A = this chain, B = another copy of it.
Amino acid sequence: MTTIRDVAKLANVSVATVSRVINDNGYVNENTKQKVKDVVRKLNYRPNDVARSLFKGKSKMIALFVPDIKNPFFPELARAVEDISNKHGYTFILCNTDNDPNKEMAYLHALLQKSIDGIILVSNTMSTNQIKDMNVPVIALDRKISSEIISVTVNNKEGARQAVQYLRKQGCKRIAHISGPENVSSAKGRLEGYLEEVKNEKWFASDFICTGNYTVDKAFQSTKELLQRDAEIDGIFVANDLMGVGVLKAVESLNIKVPDELSIIGFDGIELGEITTPSLTTMAQPIYHIGKRAAELLIQRIGQPGNAIKSEEHKVKLIVRESTIERGGNNE
């Protein structure tokens, strides 16, 4: 392996000069600079980041923890974090935790040993104290952890209210909710928003809420049971688009026509929602933007640990596609 000494020797300069050229700090005259660069290229010398990180306690790595790499929402989010990381010279590590606290801790332990510079967490299992103990910059993304941990999220509750208001505006008179896991903050916010809109309706009963657990299969099963129990449901607000796929499948298996007999609206705005049949109306998150902001805040915190940064809540936006239709009647 080529060392900095080999480069210095062949270029006939000191190790300090090579270091100055490589790190682009301190004065070196142009001729010498060029000579060093030529030798670096010739010997294919790579300044050793491992040695550097030992010295500085920095690895130039940041990690994103996601609970389910197979929900397309997370690859879309990861793309944004990755782009910003690369742009700032960080290597980006993606860790898939399966919502499993043991796996999460194992990853954390491994990364802390590698002097990871910072972590973006999509987690509902880590506690504030666990995060503080890590003694490394952390940003919570998509799911809030506590007011003490800076987060980038969307207005889940308000977005859910808008989804239900939209269905009502289209003429839906009995609106059900396929909810996410009750211990996940995004799912909780969406459920609360739904409840605020419907809880005083005389048709509303608690069995209008069925858990889909943020998975296609559970959403499929719950929707089937729901619609077999109550055939008059004419609108469903689904807590995420991934479950929307299961809902569409269930509805199709019961020969119910979407959107003529039943309107469906999801949440997230993943690309998958464009390619279902019918395509899925949704409350779209600015997915790329929130991933980008989380990465920017993390990198800011890594660079200037003292500076104050603030949590951000971004807005969702209605995207109308084929799964909803104006059905006359109640239009305001």
* Shortest beta-carbon distance from A224 to chain B in Å: 15
Asked whether A79 and B69 contact (CB < 8 A) given A275-B276, A277-B277, the answer is yes
In the complex, the answer to whether A115 meets B275 with C-beta atoms within 8 Å is no
| CB closest chain-B residue, reference A49 | B113
In the complex, the answer to whether B271 meets A248 with C-beta atoms within 8 Å is no
Asked if A286 CB lies within 8 Å of chain B CBs, one says no
B residues in contact with A46, CB < 8 Å: 109, 112-113
In the complex, the answer to whether B96 meets A93 with C-beta atoms within 8 Å is no
Contact string, A36-57, partner B, CB cutoff 8 A, digits 1/0? 0000000010111111011001
Asked if A67 CB lies within 8 Å of chain B CBs, one says no
* Shortest beta-carbon distance from A194 to chain B in Å: 24
* Shortest beta-carbon distance from A4 to chain B in Å: 13
- Residue picked from A47, A54, A75, A109, most chain B C-beta under 10 Å: A75
In the complex, the answer to whether A70 meets B59 with C-beta atoms within 8 Å is no
A67 to B245, CA, bound (A): 26
Asked if A94 CB lies within 8 Å of chain B CBs, one says yes
Asked if A175 CB lies within 8 Å of chain B CBs, one says no
In the complex, the answer to whether A91 meets B70 with C-beta atoms within 8 Å is no
Asked whether A110 and B82 contact (CB < 8 A) given A59-B50, A216-B275, the answer is no
Asked if A76 CB lies within 8 Å of chain B CBs, one says yes
Contact string, A263-287, partner B, CB cutoff 8 A, digits 1/0? 0000000011001110000000000
B residues in contact with A246, CB < 8 Å: 275
* Shortest beta-carbon distance from A246 to chain B in Å: 8
A46 to B109, CA, bound (A): 8
* Shortest beta-carbon distance from A280 to chain B in Å: 12
Asked if A78 CB lies within 8 Å of chain B CBs, one says yes
> Could you tell me which A residues sit within 8 Å of B by CB distance?
1, 44, 46-51, 53-54, 57, 59-61, 69-70, 72, 75-76, 78-79, 82, 86, 91-96, 103, 106-107, 109-115, 133, 216, 245-246, 248-249, 252, 271-272, 275-277
A-B CB contact pairs (8 Å), 26 listed: A46-B109, A46-B112, A46-B113, A49-B113, A49-B115, A50-B114, A50-B115, A54-B54, A59-B114, A69-B75, A69-B78, A69-B79, A70-B76, A70-B79, A75-B75, A86-B106, A91-B107, A91-B111, A91-B114, A92-B95, A94-B94, A246-B275, A249-B277, A275-B276, A276-B276, A277-B277
